[in-house]
Amino acid sequence: MKLTSCGMTDVGCRRDHNEDNFLINDQLQLYVVCDGMGGHAGGEVASAIAIHTIEESFSSLDWNSFASADSEIRAQEQIRFAVSLAGRKIHEVATDNPTFKGMGTTCVAMFVYDFVAYLGHVGDSRCYLVRGDTVDQVTEDHSWVNEQILKGKLTEEKAKNHPYKNIITRSLGFRETEEVDIIKVPISVGDQLLLCSDGLSNLVEGEEMKELLLQHTPQAAARQLINLACERGGDDNITVLILRADADV
C-alpha cells in the first residue's frame, strides 16, 4: 500500500489574509492543518508556530528507538506531545509579546505509522474518513454548538446557522496547556482521509466531500472542494489536505 497526498489553502472571498497553515511531510508521514485566530498577524503566527513545532518534534525523534518500542503507545504519546508542545510555544510567544496576546490556533495533526493514522486534535478543524461509499467525521468539534448538540439542547440543523457557531472551546495557545484528543484509525487500501479547516466544513457537507473525492484525483478534488466553498460565499480561509491509500502496483 502506498500513500498519495495533496494539500491546498485559499484565502477565501471575504478575508484579506490567510491565517490557515498546513503541513505535508511524506517522509515522516506527518500531515497537519491549523486554523489560526487572534487578529492582526496573530492567527497566521500561531498556526505557523504549530506547524513548525509539530514537524520539528517528529524530525528529532530517535526512529530506531521508536521502532523497537510499542509503536501504538509510542505513536499516541508522540502526537500528543507534539501538539501539546505547539500550544505551549504559542502561549509563550503570546505572553512575551503583547502584539500577539490572545492568539491561538485549532489543530488536526495526523501521523501515519505502519498504516495506522494517529490523530491529535484540538478545536474545530476536522478529519473525515471516506471508505467505500461512506463518509464519517472522525474528529469531534471542540465548539460551543457541538457541546449543545451533545447535551440535546440544539439540533445539527440549527447549529449550522447559529450565531455562536464559530465559538470554540479548545485551542492551542490561549492557555498554557490544553487537552488533546487522540484518535486511532487503521488505514485500508482505497481509504481517503481529508483534513480541513472550518472554512470548508461550514459550507460543504460530508457527502459532497465524499462524492468529489471518489470522482477525482486528490489534487483535482482539493481544487473542486475549495471552488465549491468559494461559490457558497467563501467567508473564511479554506484549507484542504487529502491522503489516499492506493494499492502497490
Is 70 exceeded by the pLDDT of residue 169? Answer: yes
Least confident of 3-12, 24-33, 137-146, 176-185: 137-146
> What is the bridge-based pairing of β-strands 30-37 and 107-113?
antiparallel
What's the predicted TM-score (pTM) here?
0.95
pLDDT tens-digit series, residues 59-89:
999 888 887 778 899 999 999 999 999 999 9
The mean pLDDT of 16-39, rounded to a whole number, is 94
SS3 string, 218-244, reads HHHHHHHHHHHHHHCCCCCCEEEEEEE
List C-alpha distances in Å: 197 to 11, 108, 182: 12, 9, 18
Using the structure block, give the residue that is written with the C-alpha cell 509503536. Answer: 71
Is 80 exceeded by the pLDDT of residue 160? Answer: no
Domains and CATH numbers, the chain: 2-139+168-246 (3.60.40.10)
List C-alpha distances in Å: 123 to 49, 107, 226: 16, 6, 21
Q: pLDDT confidence of 158, banded at 50, 70, 90?
A: low
